[in-house]
Amino acid sequence: MTANAPLTNDRFLRALRREPVDCTPVWLMRQAGRYLPEYRATRSAAGSFLNMAKNPELACEVTLQPLRRFPLDAAILFSDILTVPDAMGLGLYFVEGEGPKFERPVRSAADIARLAVPDMGTELRYVTDAVSLIRRELNGSVPLIGFSGSPWTLACYMVEGGGSKDFARVKSLALNDPAAMHQLLEVTTDAVIAYLSAQRAAGAQALQVFDTWGGVLSPAMYREFSLRYLKRIAQELPRGEGADRTPLILFGKGNGAYVEELAATGTEGVGIDWTVDLGDAARRTGGKVALQGNLDPVTLYASPDAIRAEVGRALDSYREGNGGSREGHVFNLGHGMSPDMNPEHVAVLVDAVHALSRR
């Protein structure tokens, strides 16, 4: 095995350690995707999203595409959160215009009892192969982020069999048979920990958990069915010590009410959406964690001047809530990008983050 090149841009990792930076680092959730013509070309040559995600060379190519255009401070593995339930035997497929679906959703206690942690060296080998290849191709330019869905968010798709408007099936399971729901969340948490560990071993330099659907739960159910398992991940995921520690970021849509509790899990970073004031979140977490976020993605549809103004507002809000310092802030959107966004506006956003935060 050849050693990977040392990092030339480590702003993102420094920010997660709450160390001083020359300017605030920025990356964007869904920075690789359909808004880029070169992504659409690779995807059409591959035939489908899944063919692309399951082929390490193509996954590497689309991971690097946004970095060729914009001076982003991190790369994120091109893959999907639903690779894990797919490897658990649920049969992932995509219907054009309808999003992800499972052939064999989890509907009963018997279905749950059959689930097991997939073998990372075989069933999810295509992901760790992609991580190693991307890390090598990045050649030390910026750090590589690996990721997973949160246990609750994965359970939503596993039980619903796809996306959902009201999450009636998965919430009913949690209410009617909490023991079965916990059994599902336990095995999924074991799988998430194994998956993130395998990505780290393959070369991922930071790890993010997407709790996209935690915010649809009542506070009591959030604490019981989502937060509890996020905490288990933060506590049990092995990630090294000191400057070599691989930081973990817990991102959640609609998690604004819980930032103190998330900061207390032992994670290094918390990702928040745009419904929370960054300065308030910084005050409430008191320097315990780094914060990531939180521009409303819809801002990218606005004019360049409006984008710059909103970037400035978010940077200022963080600094004001963080005792006058920019340390510990990773700039991002509050959720992922959409296919009809204008790449030129992304360039405006990334440049504004760097220019407006530079010391």
Q: Indicate which residues carry an active-site annotation.
A: 30, 34, 43, 80, 157
Residues in Cβ contact with 129 at an 8 Å cutoff, skipping those fewer than 6 apart: 56, 202
Nearest approach, Cβ of residue 74 and ligand CP3 (Å): 10
Beta strands 144-149 and 290-295, pairing class: unpaired
170 lines the binding site for ligand CP3 (CB under 6 A):
no
What is the rounded CA–CA span in Å between residue 333 and residue 353? 12
Helices 168-176 & 151-160 angle (0-180, nearest 10): 110
Site for ligand CP3 in 6-65 (CB under 6 A): 29-34, 43, 49
Please state, as a whole number, how many other Cβ atoms lie within 10 Å of the Cβ of residue 339: 11
Piece of the chain touching ligand CP3 by CB under 6 A; list 74-82, 104-112, 169-177, 317-325: 74-82
CA–CA gap between residue 120 and residue 27 (Å, rounded): 27
Smallest distance from the beta carbon of 19 to ligand CP3, in angstroms? 25
81 binds ligand CP3 (CB under 6 A): yes
Closest to 155 in 3D by CA, of 220, 256, 94, 82 = 82
Distances (CA, A) of 137 to 10, 13, 51, 203, 316: 16, 19, 20, 12, 35
For 37, the token pair is 């013509």
Which pair of structure tokens corresponds to residue 269?
A: 């970073």
Q: Binding site residues, as ranges?
A: 30-34, 80, 157, 212, 335
Establish if 210 lies at the interface with ligand CP3 (CB under 6 A).
yes
What are the binding residues for substrate? 30-34, 80, 157, 212, 335
Nearer to ligand CP3, 19 or 94 (CB): 94
Q: Which of 12, 35, 78, 258 binds ligand CP3 (CB under 6 A)?
A: 78
For 101, phi and psi rounded to 5 degrees?
-140, 155
Q: What would the x/- binding string for ligand CP3 be over residues 250 to 279, using CB under 6 A?
A: ------------------------------
Query: Least distance in Å: CB of 56 to ligand CP3?
Result: 15
Tell me how far, at minimum, the Cβ of 1 lies from ligand CP3, in Å. Answer: 26
The C-alpha atoms of residue 342 and residue 356 are separated, in whole angstroms, by 21
Nearer to ligand CP3, 100 or 118 (CB): 100
Nearer to ligand CP3, 227 or 337 (CB): 337
Q: d(Cα 24, Cα 36) in Å, to the nearest integer?
A: 24
User: How big is the site for ligand CP3, counted in residues (CB under 6 A)?
Assistant: 19
225 in helix, strand or coil?
helix
Q: How many residues does the chain have?
A: 359
Task: Report if residue 80 touches ligand CP3, rule: CB under 6 A.
Answer: yes
CB of 315 to ligand CP3, least distance (A): 22
Site residues, ligand CP3 (CB under 6 A): 29-34, 43, 49, 76, 78, 80-82, 99-100, 147, 210, 212, 336
